[in-house]
Chains A and B, each alone.
Chain A
Amino acid sequence: MEPLHPGSAIQLEDVTKVFDGVVAVDRLTVLFESGRTHVLLGSSGCGKSTILRLILGLLPPDGGTVRVGGQAVDASGRPGLSGRMGYVVQEGGLYPHLTAYRNVSLAAEARRWGGERIRARIGELARLVGFGDGILRSYPAELSGGQRQRVSLMRALMLDPPILLLDEPLGSLDPLVRADLQQQLKEIFTPMGKTVVLVTHDIREAAFFGSTITLMTGGRIVQRGSFADLVRRPASEFVTAFLSAQAPTPEMRELLH
């Protein structure tokens, strides 16, 4: 498949990150190819969120290099890359003092877009996530969890970045809303051809989204591949143990028989 944003591959080379003597990312080398949806799977504390923050340049690596589109990420050079990456976190990370609309428009305001252009773009995004009038006039505290995540997604997509980094975006939603939003997200991502890196600890979510799944533990990669690869050809006992720790999905059952 020809990627729509050819220059947006993300490459980590021998990257290490240590927090207070605890190794969060351990000499990790991985390539997230352009234009595909990648899932970083693992239990909490395995280093997957740290990887996103290294890619964003929010943290400097203690060793190795992070490249985005072939260009090394410099922890101080965020403004250069900021327009190219959208970021969604678990609780949405919305600013409570701003309306949903202002949360979404913030990045464009910082770049001095005109009001008309901002309105037009927000109109497109609202249609994309299925928001009617009114919702965007609300403050985050007035929205449901699912609505907040949609606003957060709109904010991440505002500048139409080629890369989208999602850190447990559905982690705090109840199951029904979650299933609904999963479906919607997939419908949004697939035609856009963005390079998506989604972090989750949920196997079903990984199976649902990931064209490639990277299973991690202790700051290292255990196995990379499709969901079917992980199930049928587990690289180690850990893979099988991790997969079977959660209730098997219909897809898993299908694959296993």
Chain B
Amino acid sequence: MMRTTPPHVSTPGTRRSSGRAQAITALAAVILPLAWGQAACTEARPTVRVGSKTFTESYILGEIVAEVIERTGEARVERKLGLGDTGIAYRAVAHGDIDLYPEYTGTLSQAILKDPSARTVAEIRRELAGTGLTLGSPVGFNNTYALAVRQEMAKRLRLSSISDLTRHPELTAAFSSGFTDREDGWPGLRRHYGLDLADVRVMEHALTYEALAQGEVDVIDIYSTDGKLERLDLAILDDDRQFFPAYHAVLLVREDFISRFPRSWRALEGQLAGGIDDRQMSRLNALADLDGQGIAQVAATFLGSDGPDDLRERRLVRDVLDLTVDHIYLVLVSLGAAVLLGVPLGILAARHEGLGQAELVAVGILQTIPSLALLCFMIPLFGIGKLPALVALSLYALLPIVRNTYTGLIGIDRQLLEIAGVLGLSRWQRLTRIELPLSSLHIMAGIKTSAVWTVGTATLAAFIGGGGYGDLIVRGLALDDLSLILSGAVPAALMALVIHGLFELVDRVVIPKGLRKTLSTSL
């Protein structure tokens, strides 16, 4: 439910997404040539890369930016919308993988510059000096946190500001996890106002509206451009003691973009500076979130144009086909690299007792590092796009392969290995003719696990602009569009099944016939 995640909730290295991994750069050597082979194909007309984060508002602003630039005819626009979180989007623009994306002043000062004293656009611009980045003019709206109660209760208890809540310690609240964790959220707010509520529950943001409407709780956190505000009977409590920092929307842009594409920049400033206020943004969000309009459609509505001439379904089919190719590429290349690295690592682990244990622990730790954090680490090394995704996916795929190779090898009957020595087989012959075939059942099972797993984790590539089915899922989550989510999730599930089936066939080739016989007679 990323749609409802306020922009300022995302910070670098969020723990939100479940994931695993780490960074062995050696792997890059395997993947680099493959991934660059793909990247090198598209260089002709100057290209502008427009980014956004993974919530509706950011998608809409990103799409508006892209269309405004396209209309000037100055450059081809590549959309890198839906980058995983603030850390990823910021690193991408700082690294030059994208030219600009919509950001918020509060996020810039708190999460990026880590200097809460820089509050205004001018102050933040000053702090950015020397980084090659700057800010456009404020878009107009301020997407900050706010507290909301039911209209009916606001009247009954005469609540109009947050201070009024101090008179009602019997009230209960449901807050999103981001809000309860952050210093500029509930903990700070509570101290600032001296608030005390009877019960504070942590809940998925999307569910808090329902909880409030049902009367299960009395207060929820919202953000001020939420599309639902238009449609729900909510009273927003005034931040009368100015606690919440401002989150003015603003374009974070590379300075070289401004000098290379002056017409585009003038057009953007003309169209966006002060162009969207809170109510209008809230309405645009509602069009996408509640009315199910496509992002391009919403952007066109804002720009007063006709919108995409393509039928949504046709676009979707084309997207799914393109992304299928992407996804297969991501899975096969990362799995191939994981096998090339994982099997030798497993052999090494089986050969050296101490090293083996250390290695298995290290590979295990890889799996515990959150995926978004790992993707963030990748950007300074590999930028955004397919390459960092491939490196991360390969690392995720390592564990089952290394572990099963190790288990298979150490499980071989010692006597069979001794006999190989007596027969005069060299170390290499022993490995290739005896040990690997004898452990092939285990090794193939590990590879199969990794393959099916990678089909799933490859959807994370979308967070870093790597494409694949994750693109549809991330977009669908942002827009709360179930059909969009399913159009990514169902093919991914089917692909997992197909890959599993293919591996049953591969097993027949790779696993020696005699072993399959032994297995069937011993069962």
List A residues at the B interface (Cβ < 8 Å). 53, 56, 58, 78-79, 82-83, 85, 87, 89, 93, 95-99, 106-107, 110-111, 139-142, 155, 159
Contact = CB atoms under 8 A, between A and B. Distances in A.
A54 to B, nearest CB: 12
B423 A155 contact: yes
Interface string B482-523: 000000000000000000000000000000111101100100
Interface stretch (B337-345, B424-432, B457-465): B424-432
Given A93-B416, A106-B433, A141-B521, A99 B514 contact: yes
Given A82-B423, A97-B512, A110-B425, A141 B434 contact: no
B230 to A, nearest CB: 68
B419 interface: yes
Given A87-B419, A95-B434, A106-B433, 11 more contacts: A56-B418, A78-B424, A79-B426, A82-B422, A96-B438, A96-B518, A98-B512, A106-B425, A107-B424, A111-B424, A140-B514
B308 interface: no
A88 to B, nearest CB: 10
A83 B423 CA distance: 7
A-B pairs, top 9 by smallest CB distance, nearest first, are: A97-B512, A139-B514, A82-B424, A107-B423, A96-B518, A97-B437, A97-B514, A141-B517, A141-B518
Contact of A58 (B416, B421, B515): B421
Nearest to A97: B512
Contacts of A110: 423-426, 429
Contacts of B422: 56, 58, 78, 82, 85, 87
A141 B429 contact: no
Interface in B372-388: none
Contacts of B518: 96, 139-141
Contacts of B423: 82, 106-107, 110, 155
A85 to B, nearest CB: 7
A78 B421 CA distance: 7
B38 interface: no
A82 B429 CA distance: 15
Given A110-B429, A139-B513, A141-B521, A95 B416 contact: yes
A96 B419 contact: no
Contacts of A98: 437, 512, 514
A78 B425 CA distance: 10
Nearest to B512: A97
Contacts of A79: 424, 426
19 contacts: A56-B418, A58-B422, A78-B421, A79-B426, A82-B423, A93-B416, A95-B434, A96-B438, A96-B514, A96-B515, A96-B517, A99-B514, A110-B424, A110-B426, A110-B429, A139-B518, A140-B514, A141-B517, A142-B517
B415 interface: yes
Interface in B408-462: 415-416, 418-419, 421-426, 429, 433-434, 437-438, 440
Nearest to A88: B419
B270 to A, nearest CB: 73
Given A139-B514, A141-B514, A95 B438 contact: yes
Contacts of A78: 421-422, 424
Find the residue from A87, A97, A111, A155 having the highest chain B CB count within 10 A: A97
Contacts of B419: 87, 89, 93
Contacts of A82: 421-424
A106 to B, nearest CB: 5
A118 to B, nearest CB: 13
A58 B418 CA distance: 7
A121 to B, nearest CB: 14
A142 B514 CA distance: 9
Contacts of A83: 424
A110 B429 CA distance: 7
Contact of A97 (B418, B429, B515): B515
A135 to B, nearest CB: 14
A159 B416 CA distance: 19
A142 B425 CA distance: 25
A139 B440 CA distance: 17
A79 B437 CA distance: 22
B437 to A, nearest CB: 5
Contacts of B424: 78-79, 82-83, 107, 110-111, 159
Nearest to B423: A107
A91 B152 CA distance: 85
A99 B433 CA distance: 13
A139 B437 CA distance: 14
Given A78-B422, A106-B425, A155-B423, A89 B415 contact: yes
Contacts of B421: 58, 78, 82
Nearest to A159: B424
Nearest to A152: B419
B141 to A, nearest CB: 68
Contacts of A53: 418
Nearest to A106: B423
A43 B424 CA distance: 31
A188 to B, nearest CB: 19
Contacts of B418: 53, 56, 58
Nearest to B511: A97
Given A58-B421, A141-B514, A141-B521, A97 B438 contact: yes
